[in-house]
Structure 1
């Protein structure tokens, strides 16, 4: 399931995050790479443990908590602290699959990476290339979103970033562990939740049908939750 989540950050939020990270220390992006990724990855990355990364990451986590579509789609249990990368001058990231388990250096924090997320922080008109290319059952989908918009997709997907041939692509990326491990179950819950919200707009949240549907949703969530 690939879901575009608009306006995670508004213009003020983008400016605040960029004001923090643009003043931070950027290093070779392979500091967080596994063996496979290191062979294909060519970019720069904000130092993970830096004050700038922690502050900007906190701003993004706060924004995600105010984004109902993200919560409904991801059913997040744990979120890896957001990281930040840049591509320019032909830099790219070849085909790879994200690590199944992400461990934060210097801590006991670790997650199973069920979902990956990329939050775009640069206007798409300001750079050429840089599409996030995600392979799925129906082919390869190219994603290049406005600043402040995010894409959520299975961490098990083969994906890559096309070379940036003009300008600079800046983004935040991170992984999360969902309360519902199984992808198909999570998709069914998201579809049911979406249908409930649509029906409730017409009938109202106190309608008996809406209440029954909501009960089914929560019983399925209770059945499939993996905590």
Structure 2
């Protein structure tokens, strides 16, 4: 089993949409996938037409003393999603403190899931370190847009995690220039592909679908499929 996590270098760079899209792409390639929402915003479920009023999830189960693994939803026989659940700000803070006190929680959970899935995809929040402690992760991907804010934040970081450029617009001189700079200074970290700006990605959420299901011939869906194939290739190389 392989774990992949996605975290935005800042908010609003499309991380959750990417998790939904990559999960769908991997499943279409024959992989067994569980997508896990680690964000209190609990938005990943909306990409798969789960009711916005649905309150259950792994974090809700932790607080209520229920079985966390029973909160997963089967979308197909090989694609499942584990929502975060609906919590108040104070309740999410309580979950954060518990995860900080017991950093092995998700290590144990990953081990218990290993026989059932080929991939675990984690949608991670930015500023909740407890929620981001998930155990072994082969692909801890950071998502950026080619803009000045992400450029500054990358400069301030000490991490060497892989970087994926999302919503890339080749018609933008600024974005092209930043990508050239990043390819020079972050050559070892920058993934060898980008996900292009495509309205289909935004439309897909409005239709409550991952982009590969909503618009399989769109540029964004093709980019995400390339990312999924790259992940499969790298997994074989690193095995």
Higher strand share: 1
Higher helix share: 2
Q: Rg bigger for which structure?
A: 1
TM-score if structure 1 supplies the norm length? 0.31
TM-score if structure 2 supplies the norm length? 0.30
Q: Which has the higher contact order (CA 8 A, sep 6+)?
A: 2
